[in-house]
Structure 1
């Protein structure tokens, strides 16, 4: 991840994609039964939620933040600032080329998703997802996938093969596949080399 600062900040509480009042907490409780409190994360600049059932159980995580993955919430490189958890859009150099979205807090880059969109053929290929190891299992991967999908909700999505890595398989089994794990680029994406001969998935969660 270009420009990643790997030592400055951490994702102190879990994050999830979405808006509005969640139906369940990240640990599976029905919040209509468990009870929920809403607050505001000053660090993330986003709504923060507390599950009353988790809070009542000793030693359990109980708080998380909801990050809106909608394109309207994405910022460009020149709009990124020091405040709040940001989804930073890095546009491709050419049409149908590979662009990216980074999840950032200040100068710290927690993760990145790379993908290609062709507006002519309405094809989308998810190329690569990476989350810094110490930030995995925090929801960063979920938020990045949701942010990429939100940029092309009516496109035909495919992904690179998932392979057999247990962490990768577990991630997609939990999050849900964005499309078939067999890339199907259009001719414009093929011309841009969107699907390289030696592509691979890294471990992320």
Structure 2
């Protein structure tokens, strides 16, 4: 574990990064972890598991260590002291817009809007927002992965995506399911009704 991760505070430029807690074949810098070597540990400042690329650490590269974020929401996991967690904010109406937030020590550092319909098995992901000091460190990817995990096998789409280079780069780096419609939200009739639209 790198010293920069210990005792980090929200909003600080601590260099912390995050990934969904699933098997990764490569590190942030593109190294095959079977070849580069991987060390797993635990960060006691936020009570979250970490992984490190041994080669990145030997080369002194950035993002060599990252937090492994459980994609289950905090209320879906056994009681824990974790201070870097996903929080669900359910919709007020079935198939309406809810939110997925990522919180560090009870402070929101990122989030997105999410529409889900279990009847039509459809999901729509809204804009992904991450605080400036935490961008390009994997937190947005954790949010997208958490949203997609809510509807395995669903048909997915997103709301309009900015044409900026940074927004396009973020979208291009995600692991979207087959058939996703980017920038073309496909709201089902239940979502439209919940949104107050004409059906």
Q: Is the 8 Å Cα contact of residues 97 and 113 (structure 2) preserved in structure 1?
A: yes
Distance 1:128 1:17 in 2: 19
| Equivalent position of 2:6 in the other structure | none
For the pair 1:173 / 2:172, whether they are aligned, the reply is: yes
Name the counterpart of 1:19.
Answer: 22
Indicate the SS of the match to 1:146: helix
Cα displacement string for residues 11-46 of structure 1 (whole angstroms, at most 9, x for unaligned residues): 6411111335x3221111111111121111123322
Shift of 1:9: 4.5
Equivalent residues of 1:98, 1:194 under 8 A apart = no
Instruction: List 4+ stretches of structure 1 deviating above 3 A.
Output: 7-12, 58-61, 79-83
Going from structure 1 to structure 2, the CA distance change for 1:55 and 1:144 (only over 3 Å counts) comes to same
Deviations 1:158-177 (A, max 9, x none): 11122411111010111244
2:137 maps to 1:135? no
Q: Quote the Cα distance in structure 2 between the aligned partners of 1:190 and 1:159.
A: 15
Q: Deviations over 1:39-96 (max 9, x none)?
A: 1112332221121111111454421121121xxx3125xx998742110011100101
- Give the root-mean-square deviation of aligned CA atoms: 2.4
Q: Which runs of 5+ in 1 are unaligned?
A: 1-6, 196-205
Once the two structures are TM-superposed, the CA of residue 134 in structure 1 deviates from its matched residue by 1.5
CA distance in 2, matches of 1:188, 1:66: 35
- Secondary structure of the residue aligned to 1:175 is coil
Quote the offset at 1:146 in angstroms: 0.4
CA distance in structure 1 between the aligned counterparts of 2:196 and 2:148, rounded to whole angstroms:
17
Classify 1:47/1:160 alpha carbon distance in 2 versus 1 (closer, same or farther; 3 Å).
Answer: same
When residues 60 and 145 of structure 1 are mapped into structure 2, their CA distance, relative to the original with a 3 A threshold, is closer
Counterparts of 1:104-115 in structure 2, within 5 Å, are: 104-115=103-114
User: Contact 1:116–1:194 (CA<8 Å) still a contact in 2?
Assistant: no
8 Å CA contact 2:10–2:104 kept in 1: the answer is no
Does 2:152 correspond to 1:153? Answer: yes
Q: How many angstroms apart in 2 are the aligned matches of 1:61 and 1:111?
A: 19
Kept in 2: contact 1:131–1:140 (CA 8 A): yes
Structure 1 residue 180: Cα displacement: 0.8
Q: Does the 8 Å contact 1:45/1:83 carry over to 2?
A: yes
Give the CA deviation at 1:139.
0.7
Q: TM-score, normalised by structure 2?
A: 0.82
- Post-superposition Cα deviations, 1:131-187, rounded to whole Å, max 9, x if no partner, equal 111111111100000001101112111111224111110101112445212111111
Q: Hey, what does 2:31 align to over in structure 1?
A: 29
